[in-house]
Structure 1
Amino acid sequence: LESFYARQLRLSPHVLGHSKAHVGRVVAELVRAAKAQGLQPGPLALSLRGDFVRIGSAYEQHKVRSPDCFDILVPLRLPPHLEPQPRCANGLGPCGAFVCGLRAKAGWPRRYRPFAEGFCVELQGRSHLSSGLVLRWFQGHLQRCLGAVRYRLQERCRISLSACPGRPPTLHILPCSDYVCCHISMAVRLIPAIPLGDALYLMALLPEGPQASPAPEALWGLNASRQEQRLLSWLKEQAPASSCHLKCLQILKGLRDLRGQGLEEPFSSQWGRVLSSYVLKTALFSLLLQGPLEAWDERFLVERLEDLVLYLRDCLRKQVLMHFFLGNASLPEAVALPRFLKEAAPVNLLAAFDGPTLDLAAFQLINTWFQAPHIIRMYSHPRYLRPAPTP
């Protein structure tokens, strides 16, 4: 396991640091240009707030293999005097989905009608902000700004933007070899987000696989990445300096990806969804708070990794793994949660999967752990190493 981690999973801090810095500079230029252009259409349109939020494994110190994929939230600004009113989309979509109503501070006068026609859909007789319409506007808006940014950055890198229906646009960055010592092509997923306050955001529900159809246009997902980052910071302070909890997560992600190479469809696609990086991270959070953090010292890596596998297997068998923040009343006091999260209905992350699929995933997971040395040897050959799923 140590060799597998060192040779295939561990990232060079030097290369990761260069990649993150370069991504930050390029995204800042694009967001600045998009904000400036967004000021022109008038007060009844969306615009960019002007900042961006780094999320995902690359910024939480548990990314594996290569620093070539990044996720960035781009907060949007609603027209003046309009406020988002999110609520759980009970019965309208997957567990954990939200709809976003809008409230005008002085009612809903006629002057907001152009905005409603451009960005809203009717749902249960009320106007709701449409994630699909917002996403399409966002894609077009960034594309229109790309030319000016490309010219300003031509000595640093070559950039392009790709967009598929129902998916956030992806910014492709190829640094010039004489500018960045680590000449890696990077893909940055730019995700439009509606700020709710308290570092919470609504973002378009992402399709569950490469071939999946887009989610219904009225539905949104809730992003609590800032709360996750605060929890990780608190755990780093409380755990031993040589804690192996993030290393356990990286190794389990690596084993999941290797095992996926040997599975046949349709279960091969289900395997990656059931054991998504978010599910693995949630299981780790839950397990960490059950016992003394001193037990996560590096010396006990194998024991803690086995605990994580067994905990996850039990969750799959019981068909229950609850969202760590939504409706969780047992978090440490040091990790203060916004009221919206505390009062939200609890969400089972495994509710979308049927019993036979989860039973098979549990069986394959424990089998992967028992056969880890064999799987590492067998599927670590270059011909098996396909790109890993996006975290």
Structure 2
Amino acid sequence: MALSLRGDFVRVGSAYEQHKVRSPDCFDVLVPLRLPPRLQPEPSRAAGPAPSGAFVCGLRAPAGAGWPRRYRPFVEGFCAEPRGRCLLSSALVLRWFQGHLQRCLGAVRYRLQERCRISLAACPGRPPTLHIRPCSDYVCCHISMAVRLIPAIPLGDALYLTALPPDVPPAGPAHEALWGLNASRHEQRLLAWLKEQAPASSCHLKCLQLLKGLRDLRGQGLEEPFCSQWGRVLSSYVLKTALFSLMLHGPLEAWDERFLVERLEDLVMYLRDCLRKQTLMHFFLGNASLPEAVALPRFLKEAAPVNLLAAFDGPTLDLAAFQLLYTWSQAPHLIRTYSRARYLRPAPAACRHGAEARQELPGE
């Protein structure tokens, strides 16, 4: 038995959670895969700043001669054996996934060529991105779309495993045998619950957008090696976790849009304190203080608590805290500086049928 697509997809990421700050035409989609049964997750801790909560695990094939003989093509094609253990290789799965998508794309490209151009961009070790660009005059004013297709291993209870980015330690054979936990569906459910409980004009998503934007603007003025560390320490996942924690520490009525500046400052100061204490706990893993209305699967409830900042040393976190405060104090200046024309992406050319329509308007 080999790998296959399960036949569905799961929308994830900031575009669907309504706090995206860049590239509104880019989306992330999990593509669940169908695997042989009885693969066992083996939780592990990453040696570096792993994404999505610093929780990684391997998928081990069952011991014994019966299972490997029955699924020998699968074991030979998709498993690696670091340290003598037979584990599902994320690198081999990703390579198969990219090739499978190319074959699927070849089957539909001809039928769609009059309406849009479709291409698949694939970088080694990263999920492929599907680019869709309309080519009809009637939709030429539509921006092109990029969809990152992420192969995902279902764990059940709306939990998935996805391949780690190639720049996340550990490097080498051990890296390709590890998978990162994706709990995006539970994050979306929590956001939906917060939306129901908070005022109709709640500013919590706007605060998250603004803080992500300020982080990106400040990053343009930093030099390496700290520039790369800045984006990892204040990753979107860390910022979102800080927002979740802060919102449940006080009354949700305080997040009315009238108090946008105050709540944004609270978020900055809360994050500063976390950086100084070198502690920001994963919001779901091992968190016993979640509201009863937020139901979590047993896997998350019984997991060991994870400190999202544990992979970074003290001086790096202290510098990040200092830069965060500086960024907040300089927020108006940063926004004015980087909103000038030379920092903005060029505006798309006006579409032909729109220009023709304007010429036909009476009185012009």
1:11-33 Cα offsets, whole Å, 9 max, x none, are xxxxxxxxxxxxxxxxxxxxxxx
Provide the C-alpha distance between the structure 1 equivalents of 2:261 and 2:222, rounded to a whole number of angstroms.
25
Provide the C-alpha distance between the structure 2 equivalents of 1:285 and 1:173, rounded to a whole number of angstroms.
34
- Judged with a 3 Å threshold, the aligned counterparts in structure 2 of structure 1 residues 333 and 102 are, in CA distance, closer, same or farther, namely farther
Deviation at 1:68, TM superposition (A): 1.8
Aligned residue number for residue 3 of structure 1: none
After TM superposition, the score normalised by the length of structure 1 is: 0.82
Please say which of residues 214-223 and 85-94 is displaced more in the overlay: 85-94
- Judged with a 3 Å threshold, the aligned counterparts in structure 2 of structure 1 residues 213 and 121 are, in CA distance, closer, same or farther, namely closer
Provide the C-alpha distance between the structure 2 equivalents of 1:177 and 1:213, rounded to a whole number of angstroms.
46
Aligned length: 340
Deviation at 1:271, TM superposition (A): 1.2
Aligned AA (1:228): E
Say if 2:114 and 2:136, in contact at 8 Å, map to a contact too.
no
Establish whether residue 330 from structure 1 lines up as the match of residue 307 from structure 2. no
* 1:50-65 equivalent positions in 2, closer than 5 A: 50-65=7-22
* 1:223-242 equivalent positions in 2, closer than 5 A: 223-242=182-201
Say if 2:134 and 2:140, in contact at 8 Å, map to a contact too.
no
- Judged with a 3 Å threshold, the aligned counterparts in structure 2 of structure 1 residues 104 and 48 are, in CA distance, closer, same or farther, namely farther
Aligned AA (1:71): D
1:168-192 Cα offsets, whole Å, 9 max, x none, are 1111111234354652122211110
Provide the C-alpha distance between the structure 1 equivalents of 2:25 and 2:41, rounded to a whole number of angstroms.
33
Aligned AA (1:45): A
Deviation at 1:156, TM superposition (A): 2.8
Provide the C-alpha distance between the structure 2 equivalents of 1:180 and 1:56, rounded to a whole number of angstroms.
26
Establish whether residue 47 from structure 1 lines up as the match of residue 4 from structure 2. yes
Aligned residue number for residue 43 of structure 2: 88
Provide the C-alpha distance between the structure 1 equivalents of 2:339 and 2:120, rounded to a whole number of angstroms.
32
Unaligned runs of 5+ in 1: 1-43
Deviation at 1:241, TM superposition (A): 0.3
Aligned residue number for residue 152 of structure 2: 193
Amino-acid identity (%): 84
Say if 2:61 and 2:86, in contact at 8 Å, map to a contact too.
yes
Aligned residue number for residue 161 of structure 2: 202
SS at 1:108 equivalent: helix
Deviation at 1:276, TM superposition (A): 1.1
Provide the C-alpha distance between the structure 2 equivalents of 1:68 and 1:208, rounded to a whole number of angstroms.
25
Deviation at 1:161, TM superposition (A): 0.5
Deviation at 1:117, TM superposition (A): 0.9
Establish whether residue 297 from structure 1 lines up as the match of residue 253 from structure 2. no
SS at 1:73 equivalent: strand
Aligned AA (1:51): D
Aligned residue number for residue 343 of structure 1: 302
Provide the C-alpha distance between the structure 1 equivalents of 2:100 and 2:246, rounded to a whole number of angstroms.
43
Establish whether residue 372 from structure 1 lines up as the match of residue 331 from structure 2. yes
SS at 1:345 equivalent: coil
Aligned residue number for residue 28 of structure 2: 71
Aligned residue number for residue 142 of structure 1: 101
- Judged with a 3 Å threshold, the aligned counterparts in structure 2 of structure 1 residues 385 and 276 are, in CA distance, closer, same or farther, namely farther
Say if 1:121 and 1:129, in contact at 8 Å, map to a contact too.
yes
SS at 1:309 equivalent: helix
Provide the C-alpha distance between the structure 1 equivalents of 2:250 and 2:280, rounded to a whole number of angstroms.
18
Say if 1:207 and 1:213, in contact at 8 Å, map to a contact too.
no
1:125-150 Cα offsets, whole Å, 9 max, x none, are 33111111101110111112211221
Aligned AA (1:122): E
Larger radius of gyration: 2
Aligned residue number for residue 361 of structure 2: none
* 1:24-35 equivalent positions in 2, closer than 5 A: none
- Judged with a 3 Å threshold, the aligned counterparts in structure 2 of structure 1 residues 214 and 316 are, in CA distance, closer, same or farther, namely farther
Deviation at 1:347, TM superposition (A): 1.4
Aligned residue number for residue 356 of structure 1: 315
Say if 1:166 and 1:207, in contact at 8 Å, map to a contact too.
yes
Provide the C-alpha distance between the structure 1 equivalents of 2:200 and 2:56, rounded to a whole number of angstroms.
37
Aligned residue number for residue 122 of structure 1: 81
CA-atom RMSD in angstroms: 2.2
* 1:303-314 equivalent positions in 2, closer than 5 A: 303-314=262-273
Aligned AA (1:260): G
Unaligned runs of 5+ in 2: 347-364
Aligned AA (1:46): L
SS at 1:313 equivalent: helix
1:158-216 Cα offsets, whole Å, 9 max, x none, are 1101111111111111123435465212221111001111111011012458xx99981
Say if 1:49 and 1:77, in contact at 8 Å, map to a contact too.
yes
